[in-house]
Amino acid sequence: MNLDTDRHRVLPGIVPDLDAIPADDTGGLEKSAARKELRRLLARLDELQVMMYAQGKHSLLVVLQAMDAGGKDSTIRAVFGPLNPQGVQVTGFKAPSSLELKHDYLWRVHDQCPPRGTIRVFNRSHYEDVLVVRVKSLVPEERWRRRYEQINDFERLVHDEGTTIVKLYLHITKDYQLERFRRRLARPDKHWKFNPNDLVERARWGDYRSAFEEALGRCSKMHAPWYVIPAERRWYRNLLVTRILVDTLEGLNMSYPKPDFDVEQIVLE
């Protein structure tokens, strides 16, 4: 299947214009063919994860960011749900606790980075420290301004020590968010997902967009790329995310570890 993931990658140093990027892009693909391809890719991702676990050399960190109702939870379920839970863990980052606030903002993040052999998904992340923190002026500007470089240094360290980093921004429009909020409010089983405070964040859409654009532009690196994932067509979103992860893991050229015993000498009775 002809799926170009590279055009969704943010080139280092280039600040993306999010309004100019269609959020309902489907890459010219058909839904039924995409579903079939997704099943194939999920099976491949599963194999790669087993290899990563067996080899115990590499780890993968997937950072997920989006506006509310951007589909972080459903992406996690669709892409990581089919994998062996022994090798995958999800960490959600909420507003920091009073203990976390007593430390630097990366303290709680570093602690959750994946050990070798495993995949870790960040549902929100240290990027909140240049997103919500910036939009709501939770720290003075001179402090959050320094964070782009601090985040780059931190990710460089984590990468150099054996963790592959992929960062995914799930891209939706303001109109689409409204539609999703309406749907949530129309369904009692979805009310728990709605927080009246989400409307306060929604009112600052433009500020969040600028904050996302700067974070993506300043922190997309060859070794820790940001991708802008068009997220309004969920089948395309799932396909693209899975393809990116499969390509990334294949790039590690992993192999199963060689046994430290002679297989020929083993006698099974």
Beta bridge partners of 66: 170
Closest residue by Cα to residue 79 from 24, 39, 112: 39
User: Which one of the spans 78-86, 89-97, 145-153, 169-177 is the region binding ligand ATP (CB under 6 A)?
Assistant: 89-97
Instruction: Round to whole Å and give the CA distance between 56 and 73.
Output: 27
Q: Angle, to 10 degrees, between the axis of helix 31-55 and the axis of helix 234-250?
A: 30
Least CB distance to ligand ATP at residue 118 (A): 22
> For the chain, how many residues are written?
269
> Alpha helices of 56-124 — where are they, by DSSP H?
72-80, 98-101, 107-110
Which of 14/178 has CB closer to ligand ATP? 178
| Residue 235 one-letter amino acid | W
Q: Which one of residues 129, 155, 213, 232 is an interface residue with ligand ATP (CB under 6 A)?
A: 129
Q: Which one of residues 11, 14, 33, 95 is an interface residue with ligand ATP (CB under 6 A)?
A: 95
Least CB distance to ligand ATP at residue 86 (A): 25
Q: Which one of residues 52, 60, 119, 133 is an interface residue with ligand ATP (CB under 6 A)?
A: 133
Closest residue by Cα to residue 51 from 250, 263, 269, 268: 250
Phi, psi of 157 (to 5 degrees): -60, -50
Q: Which one of residues 8, 120, 124, 171 is an interface residue with ligand ATP (CB under 6 A)?
A: 124
User: Which one of the spans 38-46, 130-138, 177-185, 204-212 is the region binding ligand ATP (CB under 6 A)?
Assistant: 130-138
Least CB distance to ligand ATP at residue 79 (A): 16
Beta-sheet strand order (sheet of 59-66): 88-92, 119-123, 59-66, 163-171, 226-230
User: Which one of the spans 66-74, 163-171, 224-232, 238-246 is the region binding ligand ATP (CB under 6 A)?
Assistant: 66-74
Least CB distance to ligand ATP at residue 172 (A): 13
Within its chain, how far is the Cα of 171 from the centroid?
A: 12
Tell me if 68 contacts ligand ATP by CB under 6 A. Answer: yes
| Interface with ligand ATP (CB under 6 A) | 68, 72-73, 93-96, 124, 128-129, 132-133, 138, 195
